[in-house]
Amino acid sequence: MQTIIGVDPSVAKTGVAVRRPDGEWEFGFVVPPKGKRDPGRLQWIAADVAWGMGLAGPALLVIEKPMQSRGNPVNLILHWRIREELACHVGGVSTLPVAPVHLKQFATGDARAEKGTIALAVARKWGDLLPPDAKEDTIEALVLAKLGECWLTPDAGHWTEYELDAALLRKRKQGERTAEEDSLTFTTQGGE
């Protein structure tokens, strides 16, 4: 199986969960240096996500979609910077953008679940994977990586109905969830 990268991006702190092809899990928590200003801060975070975990393709990036109607609009830029950095420097990256409601539904079965409910559900289901110092962003990154694992292996037999519904978008009229081939849209040679 390929590497799965779950990223909960934020300009204040970004959680990263990586499931390696051998099944081993690693976690990262990216906090930009104090006083770092944009756009350098965004580049620093994106580079740390791509380089800090020693990632190699092929990989599936599962990243939370930024909410454009609320929150910091800079998070939208960070979302795209992370995708670009991974596509250009890791190679062979496909991306599953995941709406916050689907993250919540996958973790708990409730698309309106609060962060505390998500943390309890994750601790119950996958707590043995989390590092002792896991933070909210790390926990959500694990949910995203697990959603990607479910999306890749829906017939594994251990996924709940609500996990499959969220990962595969089974109950949406718009169709199923598909990965975007980011590595095909970015190059390291200025678009050539």
Mean pLDDT of 154-182: 84
Residue 112, helix vs strand vs coil? coil
Mean pLDDT of 50-69: 83
Give me the number of domains the chain comprises: 1
- Please check whether residue 100 lies inside any domain of the structure: yes
Q: Percent of the chain, pLDDT > 90? A: 61
- Please check whether residue 49 lies inside any domain of the structure: yes
Mean pLDDT of 161-176: 81
> How much helix, strand and coil, in percent to the nearest 5, is found in the chain?
45, 15, 40
pLDDT for the residue numbered 68: 61
Sort residue 38 into left (φ over 0), alpha (ψ -120 to 50) or beta: beta
Mean pLDDT of 149-170: 92
pLDDT interval class at 180 (50, 70, 90): confident
Q: What is the DSSP string of 119-179?
A: HHHHHHHHGGGS-TT--HHHHHHHHHHHHHHHHH-TTSS---HHHHHHHHTTT-TT-----
91: Cα within 13 Å, side-chain hemisphere: 4
Q: Is the pLDDT of residue 119 over 80?
A: yes
pLDDT for the residue numbered 190: 46
β-pairing verdict for 25-30 and 59-64: unpaired
Amino acid at 20: R
CA distance 112 to 172: 17
pLDDT for the residue numbered 129: 95
- Please check whether residue 192 lies inside any domain of the structure: no
64-102: pLDDT as tens digits: 988 765 656 788 899 999 999 998 888 789 999 999 999
Residues 6+ apart with CB under 8 A from 54: none
- Domain of residue 170, CATH code: 3.30.420.10
- Please check whether residue 190 lies inside any domain of the structure: no
The four Cα atoms 44, 47, 53, 55 give a dihedral, to 10 degrees, of 170
- Please check whether residue 161 lies inside any domain of the structure: yes
Q: Is the pLDDT of residue 176 over 70?
A: yes
Tell me the two tokens of residue 29: 């928590």
User: Minimum mean pLDDT among 16-20, 37-41, 140-144, 146-150: which range?
Assistant: 37-41
- Please check whether residue 107 lies inside any domain of the structure: yes
- Please check whether residue 191 lies inside any domain of the structure: no
Residues 6+ apart with CB under 8 A from 148: 4, 5, 6, 60, 62, 96, 167
Q: What range does the domain containing 79 cover?
A: 3-185
Mean pLDDT of 118-147: 94
pLDDT for the residue numbered 172: 63
- Please check whether residue 66 lies inside any domain of the structure: yes
